[in-house]
Structure formats: C-alpha cells, structure tokens
Structure 1
Amino acid sequence: MSDNDIVAARGRGSRAGWLAGLAGLTAVGAAAGVSVARSMRRRVTIDDPYRDEDFELLDADRSYVVTTADGVPLAVREVGPQDAPLTVVFAHGFCLRMGAFHFQRARLTDQWGDQVRMVFYDQRGHGQSGEAPAATYTVTQLGQDLESVLAVMAPKGPVVLVGHSMGGMTVLSHARQYPQQYPTRIVGAALIASAAEGISRSPLGEVLRNPALEAARFAVRYAPKTVHRTRGAAKSVIAPILRAASYGDEKISPSVVAFSEEMMHGTPIATLVEFLHALEVHDETAGLETLKKVPTLIVCRDRDLLTSKEYSQAMAAALPKAELVIVPGAGHLVQLEQPEVVDDALVQFVERATPSKLVALTRRVRERVRRG
C-alpha cells in the first residue's frame, strides 16, 4: 500500500469515527430525552390561547447590527424611547434566540411605557447573528459579547441585565470580567433558570459525559463539511432533552411549544455541540462577588430538570441583595410557559433596582394602566 493510500485510509477512518461519534451522541441524547420525558406529565392543551400569536413581533422593532471585537455580527432589536431613563438588556439561552423573550417584550412595552428602553440580541451562532470560530463558543466570550452590545446600545445611563439559562451565565461572565461597571452602570441583574457553574448534574449531563460529545466537537472543528451534511443530527442530539424539560406538567399551548422547538431546531450543529461543552465546564461563581453590589432577581422552577432550583438557591444564598422566586409547575422555559409570573417579578424588581425617580414614574404608569 502506498503512502497516499495510507493517508486516504486514515482519512476515511477518521471520517467514519466522527460520524460514529455523532451517531452515538444522537443515541445518548434520545435515551436521555426519554428518561426526562418519563418524569414529566406534560399535556398540550387543545384550547390554544396563542393560536393567533405573532411570535415574530421582535422583527418589527428597530434593528441594528453590533460587531464584536473579533468581528462577529450580532443581530440586535430595540423597543422604547432611546432617551428612556433606564435600559433593560435581555440575553437568551442555549439553542434559542431573542424571541425567547417574546412575552416579556409584548407585556413590558405596555407596562413600562416611555420610561424603559428594552434591548434584545441573538447570541453568537444563534438566530440571526453570525456564526464564529468554534473555539470562541465559550461563556467567557459571551460575557465579552454582552459588553460589545452595551458599549454600542447603552453607552450611558443605568442598565438592568436579564439573562435566561445560558444568558444568565452570560450576565455572570460579564460581571466577572467587568466588575467596575457594577453598580455605577449596571444597577441590577435578573437570572432566570440559570446556574453559576457547570450543569453536569442535570439530565443534560448524560450527554455531556459521553465520549461521543468529544468526537462530535472534533468533527465540528476539523471536518465541518462532514458535519454540515449531518445537520439533521442537531435535532436528535439535544432536542429530545430540551423538548422534554422545557415545560412543566401543566397544560401547554401547542403554539408556544412549536415556537420554542422551531428555535431549537434552527440552531446550527456547531453552535449546539460547542456550547454544550461550554455549559459543562463553565464556572462563573466569581461573578457572584460582583453581583453582591447590586439588587438581583433569581427566578427558577421548582422542578427544573436542566438547571435545578438548587443552583438558583445556591446563587441566592451567596447574594445579600437577591430575591428568589420559585415558580411551581413550570419548566426550564418558564418565561414562555408562565410569562405573567416572570413579568410581574421583573416589574417589581426593576422598581427595586432603579433610582427612586424612575420607581415613582413606573408606579404611576402602572396605576394608569390598571385604572384604564
């Protein structure tokens, strides 16, 4: 056998190994999804209150592109007056996009009126934002991306940060890396269904601990064309777990379920695999030291199977200015499943975290809405 034949054979063997890794990871994801699903009693309701809901509402808002320090374009949307006394910036979670805050955008726009400007963006590799080198798919980089968004969209004035799941880790990463901005610019932070360190103890850990994940990461980095041809594997790698754990055991709107699954299925496999690893190894507990300086809201579900309430309780215990809200009966996507609870908590939290002048104005707006 010639040297060229040996090289070709090795190449075929490596490619087969990568594909086997993806197949193995898919099998593990499916098995873990089944085990999670067995612990839930989710019922999709026939009477769908959101049948006619426009879940693309954010696309009609003012749009911008913020380019990160390493050149990745981030899709950004803005609603509310540009000269509002307060800016609230939302960071979404893993395998989602800014639309995950659909109900918050709809309700809080009316609730806050012209007193608050809201900024939403897609994390790198998600939604309409650009993909990036695989090595940059880290929680540390997400904190730096958030700083890029803040520098362009909110260079002045008080800011409240809101993060769901991986977005909460983004907030913690930002707090660790830019502590000087707390509480001078960042006056409050809300962490929804999140965790300060690796989530290997959740059912997701069944995937994270599998050697096939490392094989898939290797394929993503060194055989991207091969992985692209198996793009459909993205759905079966993690979707069974996310789908089963996203919602609780209450009746769920099929339109909301379809919307969240569309976000998950639209996530590129490179983004999915690399950030899976990032979620396993991240440790942003140092960010909690910074958040001690500001009021903090922590929201979780009592039986969240991805980021259990123990993670939230540990964060709350470390933060003297924290308020812990445990939502019964909801799943990991609590802001989509029980938006009223989350919205009310955010309204009250912003009043607590912002200057007294804004508190008074916000309360008057809310009273007018109630009377109307």
Structure 2
Amino acid sequence: MSRNAQWLAGAAGLTAVGSVAGTAVVRSLTRRSTGDDPYRGEDFERLYADRSSVVTTDDGVPLAVREVGPNDAPLTVVFAHGFCLRMGAFHFQRTRLAEQWGPQVRMVFYDQRGHGQSGSASPDTYSVEQLGRDLEAVLAVTVPRGPVVLVGHSMGGMTVLSHARQFPHRYPKQIVGAAVISSAVEGVARSPLGEILRNPALEAVRFLARYAPGAVHHTRGAARSVIGPILRAASYGDEAVSPSVVEFSQRMMHGTSITTLVEFLHALEVHDEAGALRVLAKVPTLIACGDRDLLTPMEYSKAMAAQLPRSELVIVGGAGHLVQLEEPVVIDDALVRLVERATPSKLVSLTRRVRDRVRFRG
C-alpha cells in the first residue's frame, strides 16, 4: 500500500474511534471505592528522591535510574516496569522490601525508554527486543559484578524474557533469579487488548507518529479514547481498591506520550520471547498474575510456569493487571521467597532472621 493510501485509510479509521471502547468497559469505570482510603496522603513519588543516576543505552537514550541500598550489598534486585507506567509502579515493593532486606540487598529501578523521566527515542526502537538490550545497559553500569535477581511487571516481564533470550551467558553466572509478573511470553493478540490492537484508529495514529510526528498531538484524544478505558478497567480486579492507588496509576498512564503508547502497543502484539524459557529454566523464577487480569490473562502465566521447573506460580485471587499495586503484600512475600531460593545460604539465613524480627515486633 502506498503512503498516500495508508494516510487515507488511517484518516478513515480515526472517524470511528469514539465508539470502540464498548459499553461494558465504560460501565466498569464507575468509581471504585466508597469506604475509607488507606493510602490517602501516600507519597507515591518517594522513589524519585532516592539515589539517582543516568544510564545511556546502546543507541544513546538516557534512562533515569534510582537506587536503594548500599553499593556493596551481597545481592542486587533490578526492577523493570510495565507499559504506560514508570518505576513508581513498584512503590510498595520499594517501601516494604527496603525495610525488610535492609543493607543486605540493593534495589535498582529505572524508567523504560519513552516512559517517566527517561528519554524518548526513534519509534522504530520501541520494541521488546530493544528493551532487553536496555536492561543489559542498566546491568552493565549499575551491577557490573555480583548476583542479581530481575523483577519485571507486564512489559517489564517481557523485558526480562527478552534479556534472557539475548544474553543467556548471564544465567545463572550472574542472574540468579527472575520474577515475571502479569506478563506473557508471546504477543497478546488473544487477550482483550488484542481486540483493541486490531482497531484501525490505533494504526492510523502509529502511522502519524512515524511519518508526521508534528501532527500526533492532534490524535492524542482519539487514541486514548480507544485504549484508555481498557487499561483503566483492566488494571484492578477489586472495585474496593484504594482511590489514591487508582489515581496514581492513571496519572502514570496519562503521563505517557502518545507515540510511546501506540508504538509499544504494537510491540506487545508481535513480540515472541519463547526462546527465553530454556534460559530462565536455569534459575529459580517467580511467575505471578491476578486471576482477573484482562490484559495478560492468568492462562499466559500458567503456561509459562509449566515450562519452568524451578518456578513458583502465584495466582492472586481477585486482582487485575496491576497486581503489585493492588495486592502488594502477596507480591512482596513472593519476592522474598524468590530471593531466598535464589541467593547463597548466608543471605537466606539473614533474610529469614530479619523477617522473623519484623513479625515478632508485629
């Protein structure tokens, strides 16, 4: 198809955008909580006050990095966030696990390209394969030596899978464990998100992002009217979730550029990291998902875990896609167990003693 034909097809697609979200999804956006908000006043931006640095990727994109814990800690845990989010999506993990692990674990968080405080890039680099290389750049700078556990949520889980496929020599030599949360090994065409991805309006916006970037801002509302309701409705499984948590996650989504949104949507549709599973099979893994996740349904997680003999599968009842925000204690406990399985006995023993002290005080 010629570029002019593509342009005309895209323009036609945009005229139909207003009705594609669907009545069922719109109804699900009713205000979710009528009771007290346990997180009213919570500082969800706390992570950005932590020790900061910038890592430059192999194609020159600056990635914003934050760290908690001493540089000489026996173990480093590196977190990769999901689509249309930023490192703050691990707010509860940063808060509780820093208290639990203390100086024995350093935690590294970063914003993926095109998200949060990291730089944007050429649209043709918005791929899961490139995200795997970006993670390698973060590791090379922040953890050049010593054992590492990787934690990825949603697109971040795909990032971990991509890294394992592209850099298998690091497993288990340096990467001693990995968590893949609310994610999928292959494209998400079979999920409700896959239905939305086939909407011609999104392809039209993607075309503009590549060939007429100056016009993209005119289509912001159109694209968000397609994908926004789906993302919001799928984020949480329990209508009683904290309104402050909901507001925070929506703020992250709205803060993501339209080019990042449409380009990575396409990447999520076409990615294939099945080759990563034989690599991850070498290390202990955590596979976790909410049983009400509409974006990466739990069937994806179950299929992944079935191919990883050293995995723990955690299905969180009543939770949606943002399970680490909706049920943080369940995910935190699972990450603690992963570290215990993945690290030397000395660290395991210390971690258990710290946990026991916390429980005793409670």
Give the TM bin, normalised by the shorter chain.
Answer: over 0.9
The CA deviation at 1:363 is: 1.2
Instruction: State whether residues 73 and 106 of structure 2, in contact with CA within 8 Å, keep that contact through their aligned partners in structure 1.
Output: yes
Name the Cα RMSD after superposition: 1.9
Aligned partner of residue 184 in structure 1, secondary structure: coil
How much has 1:45 moved relative to structure 2?
Answer: 3.6
What does 1:221-370 align with in structure 2 at a 5 Å threshold? Answer: 221-370=210-359
Q: What residue is the counterpart of 2:74 in the other structure?
A: 85
* Cα drift, residue 24 of structure 1: 3.5
Aligned to 1:182: 171
Q: Contact conserved, 1:79 with 1:109, CA < 8 A, in 2?
A: yes
The residue identity in structure 2 corresponding to 1:222 is: Y
Instruction: Please list, as runs of the form range in 1=range in 2, the aligned pairs for 1:7-156 lying within 5 A after superposition.
Output: 18-25=10-17, 27-28=19-20, 30-31=21-22, 34-36=23-25, 43-156=32-145
Tell me if the contact between 1:37 and 1:245 (Cα under 8 Å) persists in the aligned partners.
no
**In 2, Cα distance between the equivalents of 1:242 and 1:159?**
31
Q: Could you tell me how far apart the structure 2 residues matched to 1:68 and 1:270 are? A: 19
State the TM-score, normalizing by the size of structure 1. 0.92
- In 2 relative to 1, CA 40–128 (structure 1 residues): closer, same or farther, beyond 3 Å? closer
1:167 corresponds to 2:156: yes
Shift of 1:215: 2.0
Compute the displacement of 1:36 (Å): 4.0
Give TM-score scaled by structure 2 length.
0.95
Partners in 1 of 2:290 and 2:9 — Cα distance? 39
Alignment match of 1:219 (pick from 205, 208, 212): 208
* Secondary structure at 1:161 match in 2: strand
Counterpart secondary structure, 2:82: coil
Summarize deviations over 1:95-124 as a string: whole Å, max 9, x none.
000000000001101010011000000100
1:27, 1:333 → 2: CA distance?
Answer: 26
Structure 1: runs of 5 or more not aligned: 1-9
Q: Classify the secondary structure of the residue corresponding to 2:157.
A: helix
Deviation at 1:332, TM superposition (A): 0.5
What SS does the corresponding residue of 2:220 show, helix, strand or coil? coil
Shift of 1:369: 2.1
Q: Which moved more, 1:179-188 or 1:233-242?
A: 233-242
Query: In 2, Cα distance between the equivalents of 1:266 and 1:318?
Result: 36
Residue 21 of structure 1 aligns to which amino acid in structure 2? G
Asked if the contact 1:45–1:253 (Cα under 8 Å) also holds between the matched residues in 2, the reply is no
Q: Which amino acid aligns with 1:226?
A: A
Unaligned runs of 5+ in 2: none
The verdict on how the C-alpha distance between 1:39 and 1:51 changes in structure 2, with shifts beyond 3 A counting, is closer
Quick one: which of 189, 192, 196 aligns to 1:203? Answer: 192
**Within 2, Cα distance between the matches of 1:299 and 1:146?**
21
- Distance in 2, matches of 1:141 and 1:55, equals 28
2:165 counterpart letter in structure 1: R
Aligned counterparts of 2:193 and 2:301: Cα–Cα separation in 1: 17
Structure possessing the higher radius of gyration over alpha carbons: 1
Aligned length: 359
Change (3 A) 1:20 1:319: same
**Does the residue aligned with 1:88 lie in a helix, a strand or coil?**
strand
By how many angstroms is 1:232 displaced?
3.4
Q: Tell me the secondary structure at the aligned position of residue 81 of structure 1.
A: coil
Q: 1:59 to 1:324 in 2, by over 3 A?
A: same
SS at match of 2:352: helix
> SS at 2:146's partner residue?
coil
Question: What amino acid maps onto 1:315 in structure 2?
Answer: M
The answer as to whether partners of 2:10 and 2:200 remain within 8 angstroms in 1 is: no
Cα offset, 1:208, TM superposition: 1.2
**More deviation, 358-367/255-264:** 358-367
2:192 is paired with a residue whose SS is: coil
